[in-house]
Structure 1
C-alpha cells in the first residue's frame, strides 16, 4: 500500500505538537557538563534521571540495563578533533548501563529501535554530540506516545559510544526487546547547521568513494545546512520515507542521502576497516546493529566535517538550531510510524 499521501498529514500534525523550546531545555540540561561513566559518573546518573523522568511523563516505561564487558577494543574519550581511527585502545573492563524504553501494553508487532548515545568525551559538554540526539529522542517519545495507536517502537539511550560503541554493541547482541527488531534509526549529532558556503567539509577520498554525494554537496556550495541520511540496501525504503517526511516540513528540511554499498553483518565491518572513506560511515551506534545483521540507518549533521566545536568545550547549547532539530524529530517519528515492512526499495 502506498503510504505517501499520509506522510504530509502526519508531519503537519506532529509539527504542531513538536516544541523547539522544549528541545532547548533538554539540551541545556544535558549539556550543562560533560557526561562520562568513567570520568563523570555523577553527571551520567543525573542525565539518566532526566531521561527517565521525561519518558515517564510521556507515558513510557524505562528499564536500566547494566553491562560489564572485558578486554574490548574501542577508542579513547579524549577531546579534540583528531580522526577516531588514530585513537584505538584496548579496554580491560568497562561497566556501564543502557536505558531502554517501551510503551506499556505493547503487542507482538516487530519493533523499530530508535537510539542515541548519552555520553560525551572528556572536557566536552556535548550539546550537539550528543545531547541533540538525546533531546530529539525524548521529543520523539512525546510525539509517538500521543498518537491514537502508537507504532511498535523501542527507544534506547546508549552508554559509552565515545569509547567505541560499547553500549550499543552490547544492546545489538542482546536487544532485550519484547518483540522482533525490524530495524534501527540512530540519532548522532543532529543539531548543528551552517548556511554559509564552504562550511561543509568532505573526508579525504570521499569524492572517489561516493562521487554522486560529493558532487551534490559541492554543487550546493558546500553548505552545512542539511541532514545526512546514511543507509544500506536493507533500509533503502525507510531512508526514502524519512526523506519524504523531511520534505514535508515547512520549510523543507534539506537531506543528503548516502547509500552504503556494504552488506549487513561482519563482512561489512571488515570492508570498513580496509577502506578509510567508508569507515566514517561506521562512526556511531547504528554500526553495532549493522554488524549484528540488523537493518539500520543513521541521521547526522556530520560532526567534525561541519562543526568546529566537535569534541571541544565549545560544543554548547547556544550553537544548536532547535527549529531544525524539531524537524529532525518529526521526520523520524513519522518514519517510525510508517516503517516499511520489507525495508528495501
Structure 2
C-alpha cells in the first residue's frame, strides 16, 4: 500500500508525540457505563443488610484499582453489629508526603439500584484511577477510597466508612492536603425550574436549570476548598458553581466529607446536588437510563486536570 506525503507526515508526527501528551485522554464513557451496569445489577441491593453483596462489590473495586496500576491496593475492614464491612483503598503517586484523599461511598439506601446515588461517584472514582495510572508522574500522593456504610441507618455515626478512614489517618498522624467527596454526578436537566435549593432565593444566584456540577463546602474550610473550586471550574467543560455555606444548611454536609471536617481536614463535596435536582434520590427509579454519561465523563476530566496540576 502506498503512503501519500500527507500520510507519511501524519505518521511521523504521531511518532514524536511525547508519552505525557498521549496520557491526557478524556474519560471513557463506555467504561463508566460498564461500572454502573455492574453496580446496579447486583443480586440484591448493595446495602448493609446484604454484606455478601457489599463484599462482592469490594472485590470488584480492588480488581479495578489493581488493573488501573495503583501502587497500593487494600481493604480497611471493621466490625458493626457483629458483621464485618470494609473500605477499599488504592494509592497513586509518591509514597511519602502529604496526600489528597478522593472518596465515594458504594453502598445504597434501602432496596434500590442507586445508579446516581452513588453509582456515579464510584464509577467516577474508578475511571479517575484508570486515568491516574496512565500518568508518567504525579506531583503528590493521591489516595482513592471507596467507603461503605455511608447511608442510613449509619449516616452521621462513627460506623460510617469515611469516619473510620478519617479517624485512622488522624490517629496515625498522616498529613492530608484535603479531601474530595464524589457524591451523585450523573443527573442533569437543561430545562428551567429543574433545580431546587435549600433556600428559595438562591435560585436568583445559581439559576433554575439543573445543568451544572457544584463544589460545596462549609464556611471556614480553608484555602484548600477555594483553590480546588477555582481550579475545577477553570478546567471543566461543563458549568461549575461554587457553593459555600454554613455547615448547618441542609445538604452542605450530606456525604462522606463531613467526617474529615470532624478531624480538622479540609474537605469539599463535588455533586450534581442530589435531591435538590434528582427526584429519584433514594427511590427505585434511580436507574442507569436516567443518567448522562457524557457529562459524567466531563466531571471526571476536570477532576483529573486539577489533581494532576503542579499548581494545585
> Per-residue CA shift, 1:162-183, capped at 9, x if unaligned?
0215111111111388952110
Distance 1:339 1:306 in 2: 34
Q: Is the 8 A contact 1:186 1:286 kept in 2?
A: yes
> Per-residue CA shift, 1:264-313, capped at 9, x if unaligned?
xxxx6xxx2xxxxx142010001111121101111111111111211011
Q: Is the 8 A contact 1:14 1:330 kept in 2?
A: no
Query: Given the alignment of the two structures, is residue 336 of structure 1 paired with residue 307 of structure 2, yes or no?
Result: yes
Distance 1:226 1:29 in 2: 26
Q: Is the 8 A contact 1:233 1:259 kept in 2?
A: no
Alignment CA distance shift 1:13-1:244 (3 Å) = farther
SS at match of 1:315: coil
Query: Given the alignment of the two structures, is residue 42 of structure 1 paired with residue 52 of structure 2, yes or no?
Result: yes
For residues 1-345 of structure 1, what are the structure 2 equivalents within 5 Å? 16-33=25-42, 34-36=45-47, 38-60=48-70, 61-68=72-79, 95-103=84-92, 106-151=94-139, 152-162=141-151, 163-164=154-155, 166-175=160-169, 180-203=175-198, 206-207=199-200, 213-218=202-207, 222-231=208-217, 232-234=221-223, 235-246=225-236, 249=237, 253-260=238-245, 262=246, 272=248, 278-338=249-309
Q: Is the 8 A contact 1:227 1:299 kept in 2?
A: yes
SS at match of 1:294: coil
> Per-residue CA shift, 1:170-216, capped at 9, x if unaligned?
1111138895211011000111111111111112xx24xxx6x5322
Distance 2:102 2:53 in 1: 23
Alignment CA distance shift 1:94-1:43 (3 Å) = closer
Q: TM-score, normalised by structure 1?
A: 0.75
Partner of residue 8, structure 2: none
Q: TM-score, normalised by structure 2?
A: 0.83
SS at match of 1:44: helix
* Long gaps (5+) in structure 1: 1-11, 70-91, 263-267, 273-277
SS at match of 1:21: helix
Q: Is the 8 A contact 1:108 1:178 kept in 2?
A: no
Give the structure with higher Rg (CA). Answer: 2
- Counting matched residue pairs gives 278
Q: In the TM superposition, what is the alpha-carbon distance from 1:15 to its structure 2 partner?
A: 6.4
> Per-residue CA shift, 1:83-104, capped at 9, x if unaligned?
xxxxxxxxx677421111113x
Distance 1:295 1:227 in 2: 20
Distance 1:169 1:179 in 2: 15
SS at match of 1:280: coil
Alignment CA distance shift 1:309-1:317 (3 Å) = same
* Long gaps (5+) in structure 2: 1-20
Q: In the TM superposition, what is the alpha-carbon distance from 1:338 to its structure 2 partner?
A: 2.5
